[in-house]
Structure 1
């Protein structure tokens, strides 16, 4: 419910079962929740909880790139400005004061929702586990690199997600595993980000009006279902005395029930100086909060195709597009074109082999729920991750590394008269020849190192023999196609006069 306790490394026998003979890894895409953080807003100060937490030693070691010259030439010279951050807040009579930790600390003080030192440690350890798995055990990734061009690195614009990505990459490929170039430096890795209006790496209710309406409707449904139940009465007994005057614990109270859970989880993860009174950690109360919050936030993905499309459809469409691009040799649609990197360099730099995206709990649960594979009923702990792995049958040749005829531009955008790439085209519109390109490829998802299964992949012919967690790429793509948006921004503005909740039978995910 709070910090992730990683499972033990796979035994040799487990590894052989997870990566059977006859299949070879071709592409891995990892979505990772950021590490431990402070609460996103100050709550329960009346219970003695300090609003400002002194767990961010990185605030003493901030660095910024500053222009070192007024030259107007293209080759600007930059220096590094080292600085430390302190947080200013309201004091008496609204006079500004510097925020202090419980022990009076001025430095190391975290902002709201900041990645803490513990969060940096846990995401670094995730990088170590990824390195052990994909480099040391499987040999899928090279032990040392001269560039990061074979990696697709992306983060949401939220600082804790980007910083978690930094930590994980630093352990996946530490300085000792990075070879310097001719200039004596390792080439800076490219990390992709988007402006908030384009972001699909989390459920973007702030920039998608229709999705905001849908999420409000499902949240209200949860409130109507749960607010007057014995379970909520129990939560009132546990937390009621700490609520604001004339406020009862409810799904839609202030703070919301999910906000109470957020603060409880954040305090559970950290030290005794930022703990709440003992009753906040009542096991029964935590289980009730978690079950209700999971329904409030994620039931929409399971029951509504439109919810899936606007919330996670763009992200999953991108993920499937990169997998199909990896299969369609020389299209560049595996993500290399996004980085503007040509194919045909050294074996591990031409094609994208590994993706790592810094994101959030709502991303991971949203993806799983959209695929009908979110069956735990548990909120994703800090530093949870999804590994979406693409396999090919060994009899299929590995992707070529030579540039396509016509050069890189043609390899990315297609030569004149060549058919368009099939990654984003619905399976129902593909020709028999195009569908055949997907034969012999499989997709497997591991959530916190445990395989999960998409319902449609259990059907005969949709999975590897004797293992339903290995979904055929064709079947997996067919599931995602059904809720991949064709124009996300436009579809975010549509259907405003339609009911937000499904009026008939639920449109179940994963089929």
Structure 2
């Protein structure tokens, strides 16, 4: 299954069990994989599969900000330049030609790794489901709004992740739910991104050398373990005839096994004009490929604390920090002049939406020992990280408002009053009391996830192990939260990387 088939909406009985009386939903953070896309590189053209696909109608309707009349003086307002994009590629003699689709289409042609029309539809439908749950049924979010200050929007620098998040947000709060602000217009939402070297919203092996070395070591172990197995032989019987230069399929072949999976999943999600031969969709083969790829890419999170720390620890630390800050409600302003310039009003953050990737979702779950599946995360998968407040819990959150920038996007050294990234063993009794009475629950594709470390008595809500106490969840994540991610990525003095020959991996 490459595309997510959403479960049916919760029944009233299911909803009452999932959101029991006595717990008040306070903060929701959504991590979402982008929607369906084209392959990240062209493969298996010898099967007749065209390298370029005509599934991106959005490229006919692009807009860019350009200086308007008087721009040479530097004081002109911006205009919008409307344009459409066509792709240029190499011809048979290296001459430039226009890239075309299977039937010679020149327009709507996608680049490699692009969000397709199908991907836009599936992420828009995700936004509709989120609205139905959090607005219509739970009344957690307001049905209409004149401001997005209570929503934290974030994306990786990868266009398909940004576009998917935008599609989901546009369904969560469509134009019909947008009210004009003081100036008569709906305020422009703020979307946060990072420079590639600072990105922790996905495992960043391109900018973290130590993590890249760890990844290679676990990938090599997977290759050593699987390349000569009956499972790999089965894959070769099906696909080897399509491999370049009569190469055998292997974890580390060219293309890699995970790259073959990429093309299979991308073609499976789209129309008949861009399909591989039927044998590529053999269900036994698909299960084998995903099982091996899951081990190659994600076993490290369960087996190595350093792998967790460098691969996903920064993001998990951010997520916990937001929940703790929401619970303790301390002022976390780092740069008051910046906040003043942004003109953000004082209102509590309630909802976060981050556009990310399959490797993000699996890493988050595996890092807390809760990715107990051999299936690769389908397109448009998501994790909902929900924080609840036990009714009657004293909370400063109800005593004063705060700017969402101050609480969710601290920009400098940690405030002395904030305990978001302070290791649990160092918390004072008063600091521990500030996060008492709060619970955390993860739902992966609308199914609750139980974290093994939360099963211990006292670490969960009585009667439901899927509700982890915030204190216990923080203690779990603290163990692999980096103190200086960029510096720890540059470390070269660590012992050599030598994963055990037999993985401690539930996916076996």
Calculate the TM-score normalised by the size of structure 2: 0.93
1:251 counterpart = 2:251: yes
Q: 1:465 aligns with which of 462, 467, 483?
A: 462
> Which residue does 1:270 correspond to in 2?
270
1:364 counterpart = 2:389: no
- Structure 1 unaligned segments of length 5 or more: list them: none
Q: 1:368 to 1:53 in 2, by over 3 A?
A: same
> Which residue does 1:155 correspond to in 2?
155
Matches within 5 A, 1:269-288: 269-288=269-288
Q: 1:455 aligns with which of 452, 455, 479?
A: 452
Equivalent-residue separation in structure 2 for 1:57 and 1:316 (angstroms): 36
Q: 1:448 to 1:147 in 2, by over 3 A?
A: same
CA positional deviation for 1:331: 2.3
Q: 1:393 aligns with which of 377, 383, 390?
A: 390
1:311 counterpart = 2:311: yes
1:481 counterpart = 2:478: yes
> Which residue does 1:66 correspond to in 2?
66
Matches within 5 A, 1:124-143: 124-143=124-143
Show CA shifts across 1:250-275 (max 9, x none).
Answer: 00000000000110000110011101
Show CA shifts across 1:319-360 (max 9, x none).
Answer: 000000001124248x999993799998xx611110000000
CA positional deviation for 1:95: 0.2
Q: 1:442 to 1:508 in 2, by over 3 A?
A: farther
Matches within 5 A, 1:115-130: 115-130=115-130
User: Contact conserved, 1:54 with 1:105, CA < 8 A, in 2?
Assistant: yes
Show CA shifts across 1:458-502 (max 9, x none).
Answer: 001000001000000000000000000000000001145522235
> Which residue does 1:8 correspond to in 2?
8
> Which residue does 2:261 correspond to in 1?
261
Equivalent-residue separation in structure 2 for 1:166 and 1:446 (angstroms): 21
Q: 1:482 to 1:180 in 2, by over 3 A?
A: same
Q: 1:379 aligns with which of 369, 376, 379?
A: 376
Equivalent-residue separation in structure 2 for 1:379 and 1:433 (angstroms): 43
User: Contact conserved, 1:336 with 1:351, CA < 8 A, in 2?
Assistant: no
Q: 1:426 aligns with which of 385, 401, 423?
A: 423
> Which residue does 1:340 correspond to in 2?
339
User: Contact conserved, 2:330 with 2:417, CA < 8 A, in 1?
Assistant: no
User: Contact conserved, 1:336 with 1:342, CA < 8 A, in 2?
Assistant: no
Q: 1:474 to 1:411 in 2, by over 3 A?
A: closer
Report the RMSD for the aligned CA atoms in angstroms. 2.7
> Which residue does 1:56 correspond to in 2?
56
The alignment partner of 2:398 has SS state of coil
Deviates more, 1:487-496 or 1:214-223: 487-496
CA positional deviation for 1:433: 1.1
User: Contact conserved, 1:203 with 1:363, CA < 8 A, in 2?
Assistant: yes
CA positional deviation for 1:166: 0.8
Deviates more, 1:162-171 or 1:490-499: 490-499
CA positional deviation for 1:508: 9.2
Q: 1:22 to 1:447 in 2, by over 3 A?
A: same
The alignment partner of 1:231 has SS state of helix
The alignment partner of 1:468 has SS state of strand
CA positional deviation for 1:22: 0.3
Q: 1:205 to 1:337 in 2, by over 3 A?
A: farther
Equivalent-residue separation in structure 1 for 2:255 and 2:505 (angstroms): 31
Q: 1:5 to 1:458 in 2, by over 3 A?
A: same
> Which residue does 1:402 correspond to in 2?
400
CA positional deviation for 1:246: 3.5
> Which residue does 1:435 correspond to in 2?
432
Matches within 5 A, 1:224-239: 224-239=224-239
Calculate the TM-score normalised by the size of structure 1: 0.93
Equivalent-residue separation in structure 2 for 1:470 and 1:337 (angstroms): 36
> Which residue does 1:21 correspond to in 2?
21
User: Contact conserved, 2:240 with 2:246, CA < 8 A, in 1?
Assistant: no
User: Contact conserved, 2:325 with 2:407, CA < 8 A, in 1?
Assistant: no
Matches within 5 A, 1:156-235: 156-235=156-235
CA positional deviation for 1:71: 5.3
- Structure 2 unaligned segments of length 5 or more: list them: none
Show CA shifts across 1:180-233 (max 9, x none).
Answer: 123321110000000100000000000000000000000000000000001101
Q: 1:76 to 1:183 in 2, by over 3 A?
A: farther
